[in-house]
Amino acid sequence: MLITKCILAPIEANDWLRISVMSRHTLNDWKTPDPRIEGQFDIHMKEFWPAPKMVWAYYRWELSREDFKNAYLDRLSTPELIWAIKFLSGKLVDWNITLLCIEEDPTFCHRKLLAEEFFKYVPWLQLDIK
């Protein structure tokens, strides 16, 4: 099973391998470590983050949701990230993997887009988006 949720959500037994797909684990000054995040993940895979310039453009309303989505999906289509998705997809046979980022609402979050990409490689995948 592939699970997605906010990195601040309580750790649950079925999370198994918790992977942060955030660009950083800092406060908004981009320097100070966010104490709420410490110990909340097993692996930090920066490879799956949206580029910071893209995130800031989105938050400043310079980039529409559709443009953000398309740019992020383009990023996920690079050979390196396709390999990483395929590698993790192979682990879903034996493990639950939980993708984590700071957004509380998954409605429009890059972790949801990333999880949906796994379906290309694992069509039987159970997905739990929180």
- The predicted pLDDT at position 1 comes to 92
How far apart are the C-alpha atoms of 78 and 127, rounded to whole Å? 23
List the domain range (segments joined by +) for residue 58. Answer: 2-25+37-129
| The pLDDT value given to residue 115 | 94
Residue 116: both structure tokens together: 């949906």
- Within a domain: 32: no
pLDDT for position 108? 86
User: How many C-beta neighbours within 10 Å does residue 64 have?
Assistant: 11
Q: Is residue 30 in a domain?
A: no
Residue 15 and residue 2: Cα distance in Å, rounded? 9
Say what the pLDDT of residue 21 is.
Answer: 96
H or E stretch at 19: strand 17-20
Q: How far apart are the first and last CA of the chain?
A: 13
pLDDT of residue 93: 80
Q: With respect to residue 21, please indicate whether it lies within any of the assigned structural domains.
A: yes
Domain presence at residue 31: no
Q: What is d(CA 123, CA 18) in angstroms, rounded to the nearest whole number? A: 21
- Burial category of 99 from C-beta neighbours within 10 Å (exposed 0-12, middle 13-18, buried 19 and up): buried
Q: How many domains does the chain have?
A: 1
Per-residue pLDDT of the chain (130 residues; tens, 9 = 90+): 999 999 999 999 999 999 999 988 999 888 999 999 999 999 999 999 988 888 888 888 999 999 999 999 999 999 999 999 999 988 888 889 999 999 999 888 899 999 999 988 888 888 899 9
φ/ψ (deg, to 5) at 37: -95, -25
Task: Indicate whether 97 belongs to any domain.
Answer: yes
